[in-house]
Amino acid sequence: MSHFDLHCHTSCSDGKLTPLELIALAKENNITDLAITDHDTVAAHRILKNEVDLGLNLITGIELSCQWSKIGIHIVGLNIDIDSPAILTAEAQLNKVRQQRLERIAYKLEKRGFDGILAGAQAEAGDNQVGRPHIARFMVKAGMVRSVSAAFDKYLGAGKVGDVSSLWPALEQVVEWINAAGGVAVVAHPGRYNMTRSKRIRMIEAFQQAGGQALEVCTGNQPHGMSEDLANICEKYELMASVGSDFHSPSYPWVKLGRYPRLPKRCKPVWDVFARP
């Protein structure tokens, strides 16, 4: 039987496992079809391309950062051509945005009395795509906060001083990149944004208008009833459904690779459009 996980992260962005460690865990968890979807980079897929036999069906993917109505939104691109000009452009542009955003967040946090954020977060990320989790990890190590989640609660999370969404490209732009790369665009964890249900529906309408094709109906750590609600929205807007844990690290036991609520039967699964080898 097939077991899909179409949303997870490696150390190429803010995940803890290397691409090969993630593949090993996926097989341990009996996943047959895995999409690695790092934030704004396909580096993991470039690394794994040279492996002869992974022992599972690896689907290319990316989780692109964008903004809609001044709110940061994540769009997953699945089954994309990682060598396409659109993906190369997206990576280059978003890499630049992430650098600029880090500088801006560091500046704002410096005004609050926290020094060394820029260099510290950069060192945490190394050559990988830098994000707020790297800032949070540095702040913990430097004794500025007790934990990563405290760093998000106080300084980095939605609506806090370090939540700088204004630099991201528009929702329409990232959907266009995914489509130009031959992929399927999916709204990641639609229930997790800081917005009312009616605003969420307006965001989904804009996404569909821009050429987006699917919603992530099932994600790890999702409130009860959310997948049924999202399945209804999929039916209304003729969108397909995707599933994925959004796994980042084995040290967050509340999100396990391959684990998410059951997909409602009436949904049209996004993998129907993927060619299986």
In a 13 Å sphere around the CA of 203, the CA atoms on its Cβ side amount to 30
Q: Which of 196, 236, 194, 233 is nearest to 216 (CA)?
A: 233
Q: Which residue lies nearer to ligand AMP by CB, 148 or 273?
A: 148
CB 156 within 8 A of CB 164: no
SS (H, E, C) the chain: CCCEECCECCCCCCCCCCHHHHHHHHHHCCCCEEECCCECCCHHHHHHCCCCCCCCEEECEEEEEEEECCEEEEEEEECCCCCCHHHHHHHHHHHHHHHHHHHHHHHHHHHCCCCCHHHHHHHHHCCCCCCHHHHHHHHHHCCCCCCHHHHHHHHHCCCCCCCCCCCCCEHHHHHHHHHHCCCEEEECCHHHCCCCHHHHHHHHHHHHHCCCCEEEEEECCCCCCHHHHHHHHHHHHCCEEEEECCECCCCCCCCCCCCCCCCCCCCCEHHHHCCCC
Q: Which residue lies nearer to Mn ion by CB, 63 or 91?
A: 63
CB under 5 to 8 A by kind: which of Mn ion, ligand AMP, none does 188 bind? Mn ion
Q: Does 14 bind Mn ion (CB under 5 A)?
A: yes
CB under 5 to 8 A by kind: which of ligand AMP, Mn ion, none does 149 bind? ligand AMP
Q: Does 149 bind ligand AMP (CB under 6 A)?
A: yes
CB under 5 to 8 A by kind: which of ligand AMP, Mn ion, none does 61 bind? none
CB 171 within 8 A of CB 66: yes
Stretch of 26-34, 79-87, 147-155, 200-208 lying at the interface with ligand AMP (CB under 6 A): 147-155
* Closest CB 265 distance from Mn ion, rounded Å: 26
User: How do strand 240-244 and strand 214-219 relate by DSSP bridges?
Assistant: parallel
Choose, by CB under 6 A, the member of 6, 45, 91, 132 that binds ligand AMP: 132
* Closest CB 197 distance from ligand AMP, rounded Å: 21
Query: How many residues contact ligand AMP, by CB under 6 A?
Result: 11
Q: Does 168 bind ligand AMP (CB under 6 A)?
A: no
Q: Does 157 bind ligand AMP (CB under 6 A)?
A: yes
Choose, by CB under 6 A, the member of 133, 190, 212, 220 that binds ligand AMP: 133
Q: Does 137 bind ligand AMP (CB under 6 A)?
A: no
* Closest CB 53 distance from Mn ion, rounded Å: 27
CB under 5 to 8 A by kind: which of ligand AMP, Mn ion, none does 91 bind? none
Q: Does 261 bind ligand AMP (CB under 6 A)?
A: no
Stretch of 146-154, 176-184, 195-203, 229-237 lying at the interface with ligand AMP (CB under 6 A): 146-154
Residues 6-25, interacting with ligand AMP (CB under 6 A): 14
Residues 20-79, interacting with ligand AMP (CB under 6 A): 39, 65
Return the structure tokens found at 254.
Answer: 């509340």
Choose, by CB under 5 A, the member of 5, 40, 91, 246 that binds Mn ion: 246
| Chain contacts with ligand AMP (rule: CB under 6 A) | 14, 39, 65, 131-133, 148-149, 152, 157, 248
